[in-house]
Structure 1
């Protein structure tokens, strides 16, 4: 069945998204500002920070987004649980099932993902001079994604 896109093997699959359609990554303005400030403070050292998202429906603000759209809102400190990780190899700094995005810095460049980088479903990458123009989003294959900055405060979390 070559050339037939409606073959039986594909009948139950969801329709494939056009590869030319840009994927969007949403992030709060506050998180962008904090991450870029941390990157500048840590220069010349590289950073590798786990990011996490909150569904759009959890915000008080109204967005023109699907309610389940993830918006990157916070990060987990890279040093949290580091001693346990070194001894036992267990990451206690990131809750299980969380953190499908990462923030990486390349203080000496390049502005692209490299083989040395830790990959995630979404990778935010920043290079000097640490501003919005030198911050980008990439998928795990290194393809650039559209980064949409949302000017809204995430919901307050309680312990």
Structure 2
């Protein structure tokens, strides 16, 4: 996401794998809109040197809305996203526009895709455009404790 070290950089960092997955998903679900919660990994957790401050967060994961859906539908509580996570969101606008609208679910950072599903745009919650930097790195493997 945006830098957390106090710099003026308005760049959002995202892994190439996540970008590809999000664009594919938007194309597959068209004409329906997509709305997914994204999560990040600190640059210091990657094996590769990303060329950014270690505290810089890199969008690397997605939480699918199916997890915890029954509880969310009844009580409005999203159990599919761990507490304190998901401060970014991915949206698709199959009919446009290539900007945030009043009807969009917002987050600190919003990645937006519009047809022909070839690139993502990044915005802050106020709809201001942010630079999007794609990094060629895989996030660290995660495992579930036994």
Q: TM-score, normalised by structure 2?
A: 0.92
**Deviation string, structure 1 residues 37-82 (Cα, Å, up to 9, x no partner):** 0000000000110000000000000122111100000100012111
Other-structure match for 1:151: 136
Aligned residues of 1:137 and 1:145 also touching (Cα < 8 A):
yes
Separation (CA, whole Å) in 2 of partners of 1:60 and 1:39: 29
Other-structure match for 2:87: 100
Aligned residues of 1:55 and 1:67 also touching (Cα < 8 A):
yes
Aligned residues of 1:22 and 1:145 also touching (Cα < 8 A):
no
- Structure 2 residue 24 is matched with structure 1 residue 24: no
Q: Which residue among 51, 54, 78 is the counterpart of 1:67?
A: 54
- Which region of structure 1 is more displaced relative to structure 2, 141-150 or 76-85? 76-85
- Structure 2 residue 111 is matched with structure 1 residue 124: yes
Structure 2 SS opposite 1:136: strand
Separation (CA, whole Å) in 1 of partners of 2:93 and 2:50: 32
Aligned residues of 2:92 and 2:113 also touching (Cα < 8 A):
yes
Separation (CA, whole Å) in 2 of partners of 1:151 and 1:78: 26
Separation (CA, whole Å) in 2 of partners of 1:43 and 1:89: 26
Aligned residues of 1:49 and 1:103 also touching (Cα < 8 A):
yes
Give the paired residue count: 139
Contiguous gaps of at least 5 residues in structure 1: 1-15
Separation (CA, whole Å) in 1 of partners of 2:36 and 2:98: 17
Aligned-residue RMSD, C-alpha: 1.3
Other-structure match for 1:49: 36
Separation (CA, whole Å) in 1 of partners of 2:9 and 2:127: 13
